[in-house]
Amino acid sequence: MKKSGAAEKKRVRRTSAAVPSGGRDPNPDTPPGKQAAKRDVYQVFAEKLRDHKDLESRWAVLQETRVEYFRGKDFINFLKNHPELKDILGSDQNLEIEDIGNALLRKKLLIRCDRVVKTVRPGKKKLSTWPAHLEMYHEHVFSDNDAFFAWTFEKRHPLWQTLLSFSWPVLTLAICLFPVYPHQCKILILYSCAGILLLILSLLFVRASIFGALYIILGKRVWFFPNILAEEATLGELFRFWPSKDEEERPKWTTRLFYAIVAVVVILLLRHHAPDEAARARYQKRVFNIIDDVIEWSPRLALSGMMEKQPTVVNATEPNHNFTDGSKSSSDTGGGEASQEQSGDSGEKIEDSDAFQQPDNIEDSDVFQERDDHI
């Protein structure tokens, strides 16, 4: 540690001797236009470094702000492997790599950071190679000894990202207009989304199953697609297939046995409470009904249903004979209904009379028959 601190102080003295007065131009007769051009050289150099794929970097949170950062040793190895990038600096291309880093720090294109968690967490062998949370370092001096440096300027977005940002409102509008799509388009979109969702869920299930089996049998933590659920990852890192190296200690056999018992119990419970064929048919029919309602809905059916539900309203600006015609028609209909009611009442009376007279006739016939038998 003392040797590294002495080396950093030596680099600072060498840098201050090479660029006196905090990096200002020692020649006061230099025109301001050339000074501005000299400052822009480091800006162009920093942009080239940040856009280069060989300089490995990550994203982290620095004082509630997401920043892109890299390690000091990766910066040195990168410039050693790509010395042609120093030609951008012009007259400063012969500077050492540490001096170039200090120049970027003085021009506030970089800031030095440090990890927030400085102790090894329980169950791990060493500190994280790429910490997710950073804090400001008290000395802004370039170093390759476990030092992190974050970019301070905004990265220029490529043209395809700009065009993609304009497509988001169009996509939102297209999603809102899904109910008015033709039937074939609805089916295509529905099955495409269902297929993508099924693929994601299947991938997560297979990934978790492989992890659980290897954890219980071998005691290894193996995550295929390790960044598939990461919140802060680039597109290339998100779909990386091979798992990262397991840096944690091997779990105890008691822990593995406990998780094995839990897995067996969960599988038995799921198998015991699995729905039977009748319940599965009901669920399937219910889901199909919901899908049919979504696919078969159209604005024409909705408008026709709304028109049927609306009551008929008489226009007040129509002439009076319409009202007389309406009254006549209503009276006619009322008279017809009254005649029907009268006929219905008369029919009921006739039925009542027949029902009333029929028992009398029956009783009289019984009386006559008893008299004949008696005689």
Residue 283 pLDDT greater than 90, yes or no: no
Q: Report residue 42 as tokens.
A: 């480091």
Q: What's the mean pLDDT in 323-338?
A: 46
Q: What spatial distance separates the first Cα and last Cα of the chain, rounded to whole Å?
A: 146
The predicted pLDDT at position 264 comes to: 92
User: 7 pLDDT exceeds 80?
Assistant: no
Given a cut of 90, whether residue 75 has pLDDT beyond it is: yes
pLDDT reported for residue 187:
87
Percent of the chain with pLDDT over 90: 17
Checking if the pLDDT of 307 tops 80, the result is: no
Q: Is the pLDDT of residue 200 over 80?
A: yes
Q: Which pLDDT value is given to residue 312?
A: 57
In the chain, alpha helices (H):
2-18, 20-23, 32-51, 72-81, 97-106, 159-176, 183-217, 235-238, 253-272, 277-296, 299-309, 320-374
Radius of gyration of the chain (CA): 43
What is the C-alpha separation between 167 and 174, in angstroms, rounded? 10
- In this prediction, residues 23-33 reach a mean pLDDT of 45
The pTM of the full predicted model, rounded to 2 decimals, is 0.49
Q: CA-CA-CA-CA torsion for 221, 226, 228, 234, nearest 10 degrees?
A: 160
Phi, psi for 362 (deg, rounded to 5)? -65, -40
How far is the C-alpha of 113 from the C-alpha of 92, rounded, in Å? 25
Supply 64's token pair: 């509630």
Over residues 151-180, mean pLDDT:
85
What integer pLDDT is reported at residue 244 of this predicted model? 72
Instruction: Taking each helix axis as running N to C, give the angle between helix 183-217 and helix 253-272, from 0 to 180 degrees, rounded to the nearest 10.
Output: 140
* pLDDT value of position 218: 85
* pLDDT tens per residue, range 245-265: 766 778 888 888 999 999 999
Tokens at 348, concatenated: 């009921």
| Averaged pLDDT of the chain | 74
Tens of pLDDT, residue by residue over 102-154, are 999 999 999 999 999 888 877 677 888 888 889 999 888 998 888 999 999 88
pLDDT of residue 326 exceeding 80? no
Q: Which of 183, 262, 249 is nearest to 220 (CA)?
A: 249
Give the mean model confidence (pLDDT) for residues 300-305. Answer: 66
Q: How confident is the model at residue 375 (pLDDT cuts 50, 70, 90)?
A: very low
Overall average pLDDT of the 309-324 stretch: 52
Q: What is the mean pLDDT of residues 58-63?
A: 88
Q: What is the pLDDT of residue 309?
A: 58
